Amino acid sequence: MAVFTSAKGNYRFSKLFPKQDTSCFQEAHASFFENIKSVYHTVVYDNANA
């Protein structure tokens, strides 16, 4: 599962994936940025090793 939240707002985006691999990680980011029609200058990861 990928979950994105905005730091200065109440926006949330999530997407389920069948596995945890690099292609799913990349697809999650592409889907999120496509959804918001922009790209954040800074992305902070929480529990990246979990």
- d(Cα 45, Cα 35) in Å, to the nearest integer? 19
pLDDT by residue for the chain (50 residues), tens digit each? 999 999 888 899 999 999 999 999 999 999 999 999 999 999 998 876 65
| pLDDT value for 15 | 98
CB 36 within 8 A of CB 22: no
Q: Which two tokens stand for residue 18?
A: 């069948």
Q: How far apart are CA 18 and CA 41, in angstroms?
A: 28
Spans of all domains in the chain = 2-36
| 14 phi and psi angles, rounded to 5 deg | -140, 155
Reading the block at residue 14, the tokens are: 């999530």
Output the pLDDT for position 37: 96
